[in-house]
Amino acid sequence: MVVYVSPPYPNTGEKCELGILPMRRGSGDLLRDAMAAFQGIFKGDPMRGYPEEEPQLVRGTSPLGWSYASIQKTPGPMGEGGPGLFVFVAGVGDQVATIFTTSKRPLVSQCFGEAFPSEWPPFFNSLRFKGVKPAMSDAEMRNRLAGSWTATGARVLLRYTLASNGRYVSGSAVGNVSRVSPTEVVFTTTGFRGDGAWTVKGQNLTLSPDNRAPEPGVFRLEQDSKDGRTWKDRLCIYGGTGDICYRRDN
């Protein structure tokens, strides 16, 4: 095992850890592997509920071809400022790679937090595994991404509609949505021009507004859950304004 520890942050004295475990054989269920790793590393139950905060479970497949699952948990009674614990596993053939982080709770952490830029997205985007090839073509990924996506926050609401003809609009758009499988939604429009063009190449998603410079980003398309039973699609784009996650509009 290799563990990297950050220097203390000047304002808070926070030290953050990122650990990488040796590759090992997986169970065939990445979420089960993530839970087992969490229990082994942190000696706690990641699914424990009230009075603790619910965990955040995530699963997905990188545009580069490897599948992954993660668990983020803040143990201890809600509001008492427990640590932020995070386990991530990636499937590479019949092996799994396991990574974990520790920090202050996400709302205040300066390294793996929500109020500050998180170090996790750029690290995730830098991950590469030998011998793994993309599971789908760029054209197939474009079909997965087509639709309307909304991000909401305390002071902002962002919405993009990515149309099948390679155009996009920010804000509202009129079209037809049909689900063709549990993981794929087809969004079609008639005479759709929008605000610009969008393209996908590998893990890169670029928005090119008309008459303005392109806005490149690195994306991940995944699902998240609190209980492991109900999952919701989300699209996260890491670009010039940080990492922003959008929910698919149903």
| 65-103 per-position pLDDT tens digit | 999 999 999 988 776 767 999 999 999 999 999 999 999
Strand partners, 231: none
pLDDT in tens, 127-177: 999 999 998 999 999 999 999 999 876 556 788 999 999 999 987 444 455
Percent of the chain with pLDDT over 70: 88
Question: Looking at residue 76, what is its pLDDT?
Answer: 81
Question: Looking at residue 183, what is its pLDDT?
Answer: 54
Question: Looking at residue 229, what is its pLDDT?
Answer: 93
Other Cβ atoms closer than 10 A to 90: 25
Question: Please, what is the Cα angle at 21 between 15 and 25, to 5 degrees?
Answer: 155
Ranges for all domains in the chain classified under CATH 2.40.128: 138-248
Helix/strand/coil for 236: strand
The token pair that represents 109 in the structure block: 């952490």
pTM (2 decimals)?
0.86
**Single-letter code of the amino acid located at 216:** P
Contact 246, 225 (CB under 8 A): no
Question: Looking at residue 11, what is its pLDDT?
Answer: 84
CATH of 138-248, one of 2.40.128, 1.10.260, 2.30.40, 1.10.3470: 2.40.128
Closest CA to 24 of 100, 126, 92, 101: 92
Return the C-alpha torsion angle 208, 214, 220, 226, nearest 10: -80
Question: Looking at residue 53, what is its pLDDT?
Answer: 87
What size, in residues, is the chain? Answer: 250
Helix/strand/coil for 36: helix
CA–CA gap between residue 211 and residue 140 (Å, rounded):
28
What CATH number does the domain located at 2-126 have? Answer: 3.40.1000
Ranges for all domains in the chain classified under CATH 3.40.1000: 2-126
